[in-house]
């Protein structure tokens, strides 16, 4: 039998030591089957006031649905997203309409903070000559002070 070459051995070792990446899995409470999808069910990502997230599956009736906590909400086509071919809605509990991350106004309120951060992250070149001038000035002041207080001419 032929023994594998060194390159083949390295390839085998590299493939076995490669870390496995896990894909996001939908919790069971939020999964919608094909039959339920045909009946009008969809996955709702409920965003509570304390920033907790829970998944639910609810039936949309004429554009409205009821969450398990008892609140009623409404939706339109622009707010319905797709996860693996199934409808998905991001719903904040204190809002009547779902959250649409792609919609909304232009978010210019954060531009000043972003620009300040970008300026702070730039590489600053220090002036080497400035520190030498300060040192020479301090030494000259010390010599002048010694000469003045010792009664020199």
DSSP lists the bridge partners of residue 83 as 86
Within-domain flag for 16: no
Regarding whether 78 and 134 lie in a shared domain, the answer is no
117, 71 contact by CB (below 8 A): no
Within-domain flag for 97: no
Query: Which own/partner contact pairs does 39-43 have at CB distance under 8 Å and 24+ positions apart?
Result: 42/80, 42/86, 42/87, 42/88, 42/89, 43/83, 43/86, 43/87, 43/88, 43/89
Would the pTM count as exceeding 0.85? no
Residue range(s) defining the domain that contains residue 39: 28-92
73, 93 contact by CB (below 8 A): no
Regarding whether 67 and 32 lie in a shared domain, the answer is yes
Regarding whether 79 and 39 lie in a shared domain, the answer is yes
What are 45-87's pLDDT values in tens digits? 999 999 999 999 999 888 888 898 888 998 888 889 999 899 9
Q: What total number of domains does the chain contain?
A: 2
Within-domain flag for 15: no
At 57, give phi and psi (nearest 5°): -120, 125
pLDDT given for residue 125 in this prediction: 65
pLDDT given for residue 153 in this prediction: 55
Regarding whether 85 and 39 lie in a shared domain, the answer is yes
3-state secondary structure of 47: strand
80, 37 contact by CB (below 8 A): no
Regarding whether 87 and 122 lie in a shared domain, the answer is no
pLDDT given for residue 58 in this prediction: 92
pLDDT given for residue 52 in this prediction: 94
DSSP lists the bridge partners of residue 74 as 64
Within-domain flag for 12: no
pLDDT given for residue 109 in this prediction: 63
Residue with tokens 């709702």: 44
pLDDT per residue, tens digit, the chain (153 aa), is 688 888 888 888 877 766 778 887 888 888 999 999 999 999 999 999 999 999 999 998 888 888 988 889 988 888 899 998 999 999 999 888 888 888 776 656 667 777 777 787 776 666 666 677 888 888 999 988 888 888 765
């Amino acid at each position: 039998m032929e023994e594998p070459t060194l390159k083949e051995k390295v390839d085998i070792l590299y493939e076995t030591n490669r870390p496995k990446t896990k894909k996001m899995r939908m919790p069971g409470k939020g999964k919608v089957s094909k039959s339920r999808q045909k009946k009008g069910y969809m996955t709702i990502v409920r965003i509570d006031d304390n920033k907790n997230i829970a998944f639910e599956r609810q039936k949309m009736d004429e554009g409205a649905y009821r969450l398990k906590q008892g609140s009623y909400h409404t939706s339109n086509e622009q707010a319905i997203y797709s996860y693996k071919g199934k409808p998905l809605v991001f719903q904040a509990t204190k809002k009547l309409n779902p959250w649409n991350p792609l919609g909304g106004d232009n978010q210019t309120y954060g531009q000043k903070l972003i620009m300040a951060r970008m300026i702070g992250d730039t590489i600053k070149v220090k002036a080497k000559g400035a520190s030498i001038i300060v040192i020479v000035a301090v030494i000259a002041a010390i010599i002048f002070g010694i000469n003045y207080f010792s009664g020199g001419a």
